A = this chain, B = another copy of it.
Amino acid sequence: MAHTQRSEMAFARRQRILEAAAEVFAERGFSGAGVNEIARRAGVNKAMLYYHVGDKQKLYEEVVLGFLTQVHHQVRVGIAKAATPVDKLAAVHRAILELALERPNYPRIMLRELSLGGANLPPEVFRQMASLFATTREVVEEGMAAGQFRRVEPVIAHILLIGSVVFFANALRLRDRLGAAGAQLPGLDTVLQAAAQITHILLHGLAAPGQEGVVP
What is the interface of chain A, defined by CB distance below 8 A to chain B? 26-32, 107-109, 111-112, 114-118, 123, 126-127, 129-131, 133-134, 137, 150, 152-153, 155-157, 159-160, 162-164, 166-168, 170-171, 173-174, 177-178, 180-188, 194, 197-198, 200-207, 209, 212
Copies in the assembly, this chain: 2
Considering the chains assembled together, what is the distance between the CA atoms of A114 and B177 in angstroms? 12
Q: Given A29-B112, A153-B188, A171-B163, A127–B182 Cβ distance below 8 Å?
A: yes
25 contacts across the A-B interface (CB closer than 8 A):
A27-B116, A30-B32, A108-B115, A108-B116, A111-B112, A126-B180, A129-B181, A130-B178, A130-B182, A130-B183, A131-B182, A133-B183, A134-B183, A134-B184, A152-B201, A153-B187, A155-B188, A156-B186, A156-B194, A156-B198, A159-B198, A160-B198, A164-B164, A164-B167, A204-B205
By a CB distance below 8 angstroms, the chain B residues around A111 are: 111-112, 114-115
Min CB gap A140→B, angstroms: 12
- 6 smallest CB-CB distances across A and B, nearest first, come from A205-B205, A163-B167, A31-B32, A130-B183, A126-B181, A201-B205
Q: Is the CB of A159 within 8 A of B155?
A: no
Q: Which of B116, B185, B201 contacts A160 (CB 8 A)?
A: B201
Q: What's the Cα separation between A83 and B203 when bound, in Å? A: 27
Q: Please determine whether A155 and B115 come into contact, CB atoms closer than 8 angstroms.
A: no
Question: In whole angstroms, how far apart are the Cα atoms of A153 and B168 in the complex?
Answer: 13
